[in-house]
Amino acid sequence: MVENRPGLTFFCHALLIVSVIVVAFPLYIAFIASTHTAERMFELPLPLLPGSEAWENYSTVLLHGVAGASTAPVSHMMFNSLVVALTVTIGKISISILSAFAIVYFRFPLKNFFFWMIFITLMLPVEVRILPTYKVIADLGLLDTYAGLTIPLIASATATFLFRQFFMTIPDELMEAARIDGASALRFFWDVVLPLSKTNIAALFVILFIYGWNQYLWPLLVTTQEDMYTVVIGIKRMIPGGDASVDWNLVMATAMLALAPPALVVLLMQRWFVKGLVDTEK
Amino acid sequence: MEKRTQFPVGWLPYALVAPQLAITIVFFVWPAGQALWQSLLVQDAFGTHTEFVWFENFDVLFADETYIESFKVTAKFSALVAGFGLSISLVLAACCDHVLRGAKAYQTLIIWPYAVAPAIAAVIWAFMFNPTVGILAHGMQLLGYDWNHLLNSGQAMTLVVVSALFKLIPYDFLFFLAGLQSIPKSLIEAAAIDGAGPIRRFFTIAFPLLSPTSFFLLVVNLVYAFFDTFAIIDAATAGGPARSTTILVYKVFHDGFRGMDLGGSAAQSVILMAIVISLTVVQFRFIERKVQY
């Protein structure tokens, strides 16, 4: 701040407060809806304050799912989401840190070819090649399995790039010293590179966990059995075509449960989240 | 760029890149090749007979009015999303950069929606705009405006744009804020001493210096609007009413999985790949050159 302008400062605060409220409003409405009975949703005036059915609604969706919609209990779908999110996150980080290490610390034939092949994957989101990828999974017999849900999402160039950029900044002297001391490549990786990468791994973890948890198109294609649904696609199945028979209170309770884990990760690990977001797009 | 010393080469580097390569080949290179090949074939309804037809699928596609329509919908959708996303988040970031007290708290409270899955955001917004139970639709009815996004295509477009912005604004906001905070204070102070007010300083100093960030975000926003909004469209409107929110990725999915038109869907995939690749090339070109005055 270079000068005092109370008017402008007041205007900025006002605008920020309004936008914070606008952003929080959907969450509030979803929460309110999740604490009322299904009938209350259709009565005027529409509910604006919490009702008394919160316990009832949340335990219903967690233990039994939504009646009429063919979905598993939400607790089971959240378990599926957790498995997918963690597998994708850990898988992505491990395979890309290894390949980045190979690309930076070794000079071997075909290295550039491999690098470019990984680079190309960055360009092609699942959305543009859904049908052939689906066919590959079907041919391998991986429909309705955790492997089919996660493995195609594991390959991505972003994490490889990030680790490559970071390894480039590690001083060469560390590696030379390690070699003089007789350390093998794997030992150098384990004792020097991995500890140095901790912050990058934490930042990537946050971003990739959100990415994995929020996947939509791929689980939608690969799962046909309700006990394999993740919670994000499960919620879509609770809303059939017409809107007459939707239990909005239960749908909103599910929505609250589905958005809680990634939102908590962002709030609790905000520092890593910001770093991860800014880094992965460099 | 390479390290000046390297480890001796044996089988190890190959073993290290093997898992990444295997997944890349099986799930990326192979399907992409399949899509390319498939786009040149026509298959009959029972899948018993395929014929190589060169570019006929593409000819059919561009003669198809619904496809051209989908292009227009996508253009309109992505222009709205990128335009509103960039301008709203720039204003918010400038405000957040200006205030001293509470800046961190504002940041936290603005960025959390990034964590919300697009499909969930779409379901919640669709609920609030629902003509019978939605609080926003009800509010508009009280003001005398009739809202029904299940029938009105303009309103359906508004719904998907709002849902898309919900996740995009936190992202743009963070990047603009980081850009604003990296502008040297001495520049701002010098301008202030010369008598430039805050608005003028913003347009003559901050705005030009933010041009690389803005350009980068423009490309990212376009990619987001083109590809990552599938979940929003599917959960909020399912492409309707009357295909008014059927963007290109939704059409690929719809024609391939519902319509079972393999060749046509593959041709659409190829066109989308071309769009992604050109956007990425543009992005890299300009980031290298750093847009700046």
- Asked if B219 reaches chain A (Cβ–Cβ under 8 Å), the answer is no
Q: How confident is the model over A190-194, as a mean pLDDT? A: 91
Judge: A15–B132 Cβ closer than 8 Å, yes or no: no
**For chain B, how many structural domains are there in total?**
1
Judge: B266–A131 Cβ closer than 8 Å, yes or no: yes
Q: Are A81 and A232 in contact (CB under 8 A)?
A: yes
Of the candidates B109, B130, B262, the beta carbon closest to that of A131 is on B262
Question: Helices in chain A by DSSP H: which ranges?
Answer: 6-33, 54-64, 74-105, 111-123, 130-139, 146-154, 157-168, 172-180, 185-188, 194-196, 198-213, 217-222, 231-237, 248-268, 270-280
Q: Which residues of B touch A188 (CB under 8 A)?
A: 7
Of the pLDDT bands very low, low, confident and very high (cuts 50, 70, 90), residue B292 is very low
**Residue B199 within any structural domain of the chain:** yes
The full length of chain A comes to 282
Q: What CATH number did the domain enclosing A148 receive?
A: 1.10.3720.10
Q: Which of A53-62, A140-149, B278-287 has the highest mean pLDDT?
A: A140-149
What average pLDDT does chain B have? 82
Residue where one domain finishes, among candidates A42, A64, A86: A64
Same domain, A45 and A131: no
- In angstroms, the CA B107 to CA B117 distance is 19
Cis bond before residue A261 (omega within 30° of 0): no
Q: Are A122 and A156 in contact (CB under 8 A)?
A: yes
Judge: B257–A221 Cβ closer than 8 Å, yes or no: yes
Tell me: pLDDT of A243 over 60. no
- In angstroms, the CA A244 to CA A252 distance is 16
**Residue A253 within any structural domain of the chain:** no
Same domain, A86 and A160: yes
- Asked if B93 reaches chain A (Cβ–Cβ under 8 Å), the answer is no
Q: How confident is the model over A76-93, as a mean pLDDT? A: 91
Sign of CA dihedral B51, B55, B56, B62: positive
| ipTM given for this complex | 0.86
**Residue A14 within any structural domain of the chain:** yes
**For chain A, how many structural domains are there in total?**
2
Same domain, A210 and A158: yes
Q: How confident is the model over A251-265, as a mean pLDDT? A: 89
Q: Are A79 and A234 in contact (CB under 8 A)?
A: no
Same domain, A276 and A155: yes
Give the structural domain span for B250.
49-289
Of the pLDDT bands very low, low, confident and very high (cuts 50, 70, 90), residue A81 is very high
Buried b (16+ CB within 10 A) or exposed e, A90-99: bbbbebbbbb
Same domain, A140 and A44: no
**Residue A79 within any structural domain of the chain:** yes
**Residue B44 within any structural domain of the chain:** no
**Residue B182 within any structural domain of the chain:** yes
Of the candidates A30, A172, A266, the beta carbon closest to that of B5 is on A172
**Residue A69 within any structural domain of the chain:** no
**Residue B36 within any structural domain of the chain:** no
What average pLDDT does chain A have? 83
Same domain, A82 and A217: yes
**Residue B120 within any structural domain of the chain:** yes
Tell me: pLDDT of A198 over 70. yes
**Residue B28 within any structural domain of the chain:** no
Judge: B17–A252 Cβ closer than 8 Å, yes or no: no
Of the pLDDT bands very low, low, confident and very high (cuts 50, 70, 90), residue A90 is very high
Please report, as a single letter, which amino acid is at residue A220.
L
Q: What CATH number did the domain enclosing B73 receive?
A: 1.10.3720.10
Instruction: Give pLDDT tens digits for B251-279.
Output: 888 887 776 677 777 788 888 888 888 88
Residue of B112, B258, B275 best to disrupt the A interface, most CBs of A under 10 A = B112
The full length of chain B comes to 293
Same domain, A26 and A152: no
pLDDT of residue B176: 92
Residue where one domain finishes, among candidates A39, A64, A89: A64
Q: Which residues numbered 46-85 in B keep a CB inside 8 Å of some CB on A?
A: none
Instruction: Give pLDDT tens digits for B58-105.
Output: 777 777 788 888 888 889 999 999 999 999 999 999 988 888 788 888
Same domain, A160 and A238: yes
- In angstroms, the CA B167 to CA B204 distance is 30
HEC string of B149-180 equals: CCCCHHHHHHHHHHHHHHHHHHHHHHHHHHHH
pLDDT of residue A55: 81
**Residue B22 within any structural domain of the chain:** no
Q: Which residues of B touch A214 (CB under 8 A)?
A: 116-120
Residue where one domain finishes, among candidates A36, A64, A92: A64
Same domain, A60 and A78: no
Same domain, A58 and A170: no
Q: How confident is the model over B9-19, as a mean pLDDT? A: 84
- Please tell me which residue, B9 or B88, carries the higher pLDDT value: B88
The model's pTM is 0.86
**Residue B4 within any structural domain of the chain:** no
Give the structural domain span for A11.
6-64
- Closest C-alpha among A29, A5, A6 to residue A256: A29
Instruction: Give pLDDT tens digits for B218-245.
Output: 888 888 888 888 888 888 888 778 788 8
Q: Which residues of A touch B32 (CB under 8 A)?
A: 124, 129, 132
What are φ and ψ of residue B42, in 5° steps? Answer: -125, 130
Tell me: pLDDT of B47 over 70. no
Cβ of A154: how many Cβ atoms within 10 Å? 24
**Which chain B residue has its CA at the smallest distance from A262's CA?**
B115
- Asked if B263 reaches chain A (Cβ–Cβ under 8 Å), the answer is no
pLDDT of residue B93: 92
Say how many CB pairs under 8 Å bridge A and B: 283
Q: In degrees, to the nearest 5, what angle opens at C-alpha B90 toward C-alphas B89 and B93? A: 80
Looking at CA atoms only, how far is residue A68 from chain B in angstroms?
A: 18
Burial class (CB in 10 A: 0-12, 13-18, 19+), A52: exposed
Same domain, A194 and A229: yes
- Asked if B95 reaches chain A (Cβ–Cβ under 8 Å), the answer is yes
**Residue A1 within any structural domain of the chain:** no
Instruction: Give pLDDT tens digits for B187-203.
Output: 888 888 888 888 888 88
Looking at CA atoms only, how far is residue B258 from chain A in angstroms?
A: 11
Q: How confident is the model over A73-81, as a mean pLDDT? A: 88
